[in-house]
């Protein structure tokens, strides 16, 4: 059986290539709306960050997402992103890799 290629993306914070499943995409569309993209298919400029709550706090402090996406990001979005990442991390630990 042929081995499947694992899609890799660069983590915005660590500058390392990681499997796409281990990252979450943050996307900004033409209307400057910022959202979490769990499917990875929303149109717009995207940036990938690690599924680690500590890294989200680091991104907030360094303003890495703001620099990458070229806009100011409200505090409420960071809270939404943190809760999403925390939920995904807990889910991954509970159910394992799928």
Domains defined along the chain, listed by start: 8-95 (3.30.1230.10)
Model confidence band, residue 59 (pLDDT cutoffs 50, 70, 90) = confident
Asked if pLDDT for residue 14 goes beyond 90, the answer is no
CB atoms closer than 10 angstroms to residue 17: 9
Q: What is the pTM of this model?
A: 0.85
Backbone angles phi, psi at 39, to 5 degrees: -85, -25
CB atoms closer than 10 angstroms to residue 64: 16
Asked if pLDDT for residue 2 goes beyond 90, the answer is no
Backbone angles phi, psi at 68, to 5 degrees: -70, -40
Tell me what the pLDDT averaged over the chain comes to. Answer: 90
């Amino acid at each position: 059986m042929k081995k499947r290629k694992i899609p890799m993306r660069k983590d915005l914070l660590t500058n390392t290539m990681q499997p796409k499943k281990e990252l979450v995409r943050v996307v900004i569309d033409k209307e400057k709306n910022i959202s979490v993209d769990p499917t990875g298919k929303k149109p717009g400029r995207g940036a990938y960050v690690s599924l680690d709550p500590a890294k989200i706090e680091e991104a907030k402090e360094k303003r890495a997402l703001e620099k990458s996406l070229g806009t100011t990001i409200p505090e409420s979005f960071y809270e939404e992103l943190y809760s999403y990442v925390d939920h995904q991390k807990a889910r991954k630990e509970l159910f394992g890799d799928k």
